[in-house]
Amino acid sequence: MLDCDKVTELIPLYIDNELSEEERAGVEGHLASCGPCKARYEEMCSLMSALYGIEDEALPEGFHDEFMEKLRGQAKPESVFTRWNYKAMARAGAYAAAAIIAVSAVSVGVSALLSFDERTAESDAGAVTQPQAKLDQPAEYAMNAAAPAPAAENAVEIVPADRAERDLAQDPIASSITYYNIELTVEDIQETMDQISRLSGTQVSMNKTAPPYDGAQGSAFITRRVSAQEFEIVKDRLRSLGSAMNESESKESRSRQLSDLRARLAAKEAEKDRLLNLLGMSGELDVLVRVESRLNSVADESDNLNAQIRDINREIGQPYLNIQIYNVAYDQPAPPKQGLGARMANSFKESVNSTVKFMQNLLLFVVSAAVPTAVCVILAALIFILVRRAVKKRRGRQQ
Amino acid sequence: MSEILLARARKGDKDAFGQLIYPYERLIYNIACKYMGNAEDAKDTAQEAMLKIYLNIKSCRSYATFKAWSAKITVNASLDALRKRARKSAETLEEHQAPETDEPEHTAIINEDVRNLKDAINALGEDQRTLIILRDLEGFSYAELAETTGAALGTVKSRLSRARLALREQIDKSWRL
């Protein structure tokens, strides 16, 4: 049952016959039983009659001709795009700004997520013992039902970092390589080089920087390996050869590298076994040829991995010595004395260079910062114009 | 035919626009009359609105919406004209009102009741006044009202209902005074 307030609200629509059947029945039922609402209904009916009774005004004489006269003086209709449509422009600007912000946010989010994933993979998952153990298997492997399925041991095993370290700690071979770096200032570079050679009784391999030997401006850089037994002795002797400017000892772990190489080797060995097995089972010639070819390739890779492991193992027992030798007399050569003209020319050249650099930086700034700033300023101006128009509109309404 | 006239008018054919607007001139003039209250201002406002309709004709999507779209422009032009007039001094305002009594044949005011009714309409807010003028004085359908005001049909119904109730209250108020 409708109450008086609701019926009062519906009366104008009831007069216009714009109510649903249910509402109409409700209103009629209420009007039949409610005197005040009936009176309101009759008031509204008389109001509507009065409104409908207002007659239309006739057009003033010559209205159309006068308008056509005015129309002849007008230009062509304006294009939708050439008119200043502030609202549309502001809306487009807002959409563009929102799109830029959204794209930037998504880019930042995605890059942050990716870098997070990389860090997580590195720190949490630990050492990937077989990062390259994905085998380049021949197609027959997957298709030949008779062939044994790839064994579970071929799967890449991810060993937690702490377990990998523990395994290596228990490994008698795996360890780190020691580097000893020393910078010496000596009277005679050649003599010092000879002494370093004599320290181990063999000719040292030298990586020389020019000019190493010719007089006062010399320097030399030597890298050599010594046995673990003579490492400390050589270090002491090197210190006695001249004045040590800098000295440091560092260790580089090869544990993870070794672990990785061993895992890959194990995978290759397993593949080799499977290929040998397949070779025995298959009777088709073309399959045999392809398996044989793959077997040779795997064997080569296996040998290569073995060689790498051997090299690392050899290095582990032999610390490296990095020796940099400088002549005592070495000094930065003083710049030749210049005349006033030359100094002025140099000064001018420097100022030109700095000006060019400044202009380059300015251009870079204009491209990278000024354009977005200008876009922001334009957007702000548009928003300001819209707000001002809205305020004016409101004031106009109030007036 | 009307679509052809509209297409020609879009291209700047002024004669075609003249033919297109001719059936709606009386409607436009009457809408302006209801807002402006006197024939002279109504004529100027109506012709100003018609020029705006011509200049913006490319924004009119199809002839089906031409009536509502033209009415919208006329309403806005009338409201702008009213605002301009309100900004003028009270003296100028009196000058506009003076001809109403001097030349009754050019005004919409025929008798005292109609004058009271029009005063009550003019005392309403812009939105309610527009709905009353278009629906109750110019006979727009609800769909045309929705097109003109840019509101949903249900919203138009409830707003019009409130506008009529507000008009009745306004008339009661003026009678009490």
- Nearest-angstrom CA–CA distance, A354 and A299: 61
pLDDT at residue B177, rounded to an integer: 57
**Based on the domain organization, do B24 and B105 belong to the same domain?**
yes
Report whether pLDDT(A119) > 70.
Answer: no
Report whether pLDDT(A5) > 90.
Answer: no
Q: What pLDDT digit, counting tens, does each position of A196-206 carry?
A: 777 765 555 55
pLDDT at residue A271, rounded to an integer: 85
Q: A69: which DSSP letter?
A: H
Considering B80, B109, B138, which residue would you say is the last residue of a domain? B109
**Based on the domain organization, do B101 and B124 belong to the same domain?**
no
Amino acid occupying residue A21: E
pLDDT at residue A155, rounded to an integer: 39
Tell me the Cα Rg of chain B: 17
Mean pLDDT (chain A, rounded)? 74
Q: Which alpha helices (DSSP H) does B88-141 contain, by range?
A: 90-102, 112-122, 126-131
What's the domain range around A8?
A: 4-52
A-B Cβ pairs (cutoff 8 Å, strict): 112
Chain B residues whose beta carbon lies within 8 Å of the beta carbon of residue A44: 164, 168
B135: closest CA among B97, B108, B162?
A: B162
**Based on the domain organization, do A320 and A195 belong to the same domain?**
yes
Q: Is residue A20 part of a domain?
A: yes
Instruction: Give this complex's ipTM.
Output: 0.78
Report whether pLDDT(A120) > 50.
Answer: no
pLDDT tier at A114 (50, 70, 90 boundaries)?
A: low
**Based on the domain organization, do B38 and B123 belong to the same domain?**
no
pLDDT at residue A69, rounded to an integer: 87
Chain B residues whose beta carbon lies within 8 Å of the beta carbon of residue A83: 56
CB contact at 8 A, B53 and B73: yes
How many C-beta neighbours within 10 Å does residue A308 have?
A: 16
Q: For A70-94, what is the mean pLDDT?
A: 71
Q: How far is CA A113 from the centre of its chain?
A: 9
- Nearest-angstrom CA–CA distance, B92 and B98: 10
Q: For A74-80, what is the mean pLDDT?
A: 72
Amino acid occupying residue B122: N
Residue by residue, pLDDT tens for chain B (177 residues) are 677 888 888 888 888 888 888 889 999 999 998 888 888 889 999 999 999 999 888 888 788 888 889 999 999 999 888 888 888 755 554 554 544 444 444 443 346 777 788 888 888 888 899 998 888 888 888 888 898 888 888 888 889 989 988 988 888 877 665
A80 reaches B (C-beta below 8 A): yes
A44 reaches B (C-beta below 8 A): yes
**Based on the domain organization, do B61 and B89 belong to the same domain?**
yes
Q: What percent of chain A has pLDDT over 90?
A: 5
pLDDT at residue A204, rounded to an integer: 52
What's the domain range around B131?
A: 110-177
Chain B residues whose beta carbon lies within 8 Å of the beta carbon of residue A71: 14, 17-18, 50-51, 54
**Based on the domain organization, do A43 and A148 belong to the same domain?**
no
CB contact at 8 A, B56 and B72: no
pLDDT at residue A143, rounded to an integer: 34
Chain B: nearest CA to A366, how far in angstroms?
A: 39
CB contact at 8 A, A279 and A295: yes
How many C-beta neighbours within 10 Å does residue A20 have?
A: 9
**Based on the domain organization, do A10 and A158 belong to the same domain?**
no
CB contact at 8 A, A93 and A379: yes
pLDDT tier at A329 (50, 70, 90 boundaries)?
A: low
Chain A: nearest CA to B29, how far in angstroms?
A: 7
pLDDT tier at A174 (50, 70, 90 boundaries)?
A: very low
Under an 8 A CB cutoff, do B168 and A74 touch?
A: no
Considering A327, A342, A358, which residue would you say is the last residue of a domain? A327
Under an 8 A CB cutoff, do B55 and A396 touch?
A: no
**Based on the domain organization, do B82 and B98 belong to the same domain?**
yes
Chain A: nearest CA to B57, how far in angstroms?
A: 6
Chain B: nearest CA to A80, how far in angstroms?
A: 6
Chain A residues whose beta carbon lies within 8 Å of the beta carbon of residue B59: 80
Closest residue in B to A7 (Cα–Cα) = B161
**Based on the domain organization, do B116 and B159 belong to the same domain?**
yes
Chain B residues whose beta carbon lies within 8 Å of the beta carbon of residue A48: 136, 164
Q: For A79-97, what is the mean pLDDT?
A: 69
Chain A: nearest CA to B51, how far in angstroms?
A: 7
Q: What angle do CA A137, A141, A143 make, to 5 degrees?
A: 135
DSSP, collapsed to helix, strand or coil, labels residue A131 as: coil
Q: For A13-33, what is the mean pLDDT?
A: 88
- Nearest-angstrom CA–CA distance, A150 and A166: 29
The number of distinct structural domains making up chain A is 2
A8 reaches B (C-beta below 8 A): yes
The number of distinct structural domains making up chain B is 2
**Based on the domain organization, do B90 and B27 belong to the same domain?**
yes
Largest distance between two CA atoms of chain B: 56
Record the tokens describing residue B159, joined without a space.
């707003």
**Based on the domain organization, do B79 and B5 belong to the same domain?**
yes
**Based on the domain organization, do A47 and A147 belong to the same domain?**
no
Nearest Cβ partner for A12 among B79, B113, B164: B164
Q: For A287-303, what is the mean pLDDT?
A: 86
**Based on the domain organization, do B147 and B85 belong to the same domain?**
no
Considering A288, A311, A327, which residue would you say is the last residue of a domain? A327
- Nearest-angstrom CA–CA distance, B59 and A83: 11
- Nearest-angstrom CA–CA distance, B57 and B69: 10
Q: Is residue A74 part of a domain?
A: no
Chain B residues whose beta carbon lies within 8 Å of the beta carbon of residue A389: none
Record the tokens describing residue B92, joined without a space.
């100028």
- Nearest-angstrom CA–CA distance, A347 and A336: 16
CATH of the domain at B98: 1.10.1740.10
pLDDT at residue A382, rounded to an integer: 93
Residues 6+ apart with CB under 8 A from A18: B142, B157
C-alpha distances out from residue A183 to A203, A323, A398, B108, Å: 20, 6, 87, 108
DSSP, collapsed to helix, strand or coil, labels residue A322 as: strand
pLDDT at residue A341, rounded to an integer: 85
β-pairing, A158-159 vs A176-186, is: unpaired
Closest residue in A to B171 (Cα–Cα) = A47
pLDDT at residue A214, rounded to an integer: 45
Report whether pLDDT(A148) > 50.
Answer: no
Chain B residues whose beta carbon lies within 8 Å of the beta carbon of residue A75: 55
Considering B76, B109, B142, which residue would you say is the last residue of a domain? B109
**Based on the domain organization, do A199 and A317 belong to the same domain?**
yes
CATH of the domain at B168: 1.10.10.10
Q: For A323-351, what is the mean pLDDT?
A: 76
Nearest Cβ partner for B10 among A12, A77, A83: A77
Q: What pLDDT digit, counting tens, does each position of A210-240 carry?
A: 444 444 456 677 777 777 777 888 888 888 8
Closest residue in A to B54 (Cα–Cα) = A77
Q: Is residue A59 part of a domain?
A: no
Q: Is residue A86 part of a domain?
A: no
Nearest Cβ partner for B30 among A43, A57, A68: A57
pLDDT at residue B105, rounded to an integer: 45
- Nearest-angstrom CA–CA distance, A138 and A147: 12
pLDDT at residue A132, rounded to an integer: 35
Nearest Cβ partner for A74 among B11, B51, B113: B51
Among A40-49, A104-113, A123-132, the minimum mean pLDDT is found in A123-132
A57 reaches B (C-beta below 8 A): yes
Q: Is residue A105 part of a domain?
A: no
**Based on the domain organization, do B7 and B89 belong to the same domain?**
yes
Chain A residues whose beta carbon lies within 8 Å of the beta carbon of residue B12: 76-77
Q: How far is CA A247 from the centre of its chain?
A: 39
**Based on the domain organization, do B35 and B101 belong to the same domain?**
yes
Considering A327, A359, A375, which residue would you say is the last residue of a domain? A327
Chain B: nearest CA to A87, how far in angstroms?
A: 15
**Based on the domain organization, do A46 and A195 belong to the same domain?**
no
First to last CA, chain B: 53
Under an 8 A CB cutoff, do B51 and A64 touch?
A: no
Chain A residues whose beta carbon lies within 8 Å of the beta carbon of residue B39: 57, 60
**Based on the domain organization, do B101 and B114 belong to the same domain?**
no
Chain B residues whose beta carbon lies within 8 Å of the beta carbon of residue A74: 14, 51, 54-55
pLDDT at residue B45, rounded to an integer: 92
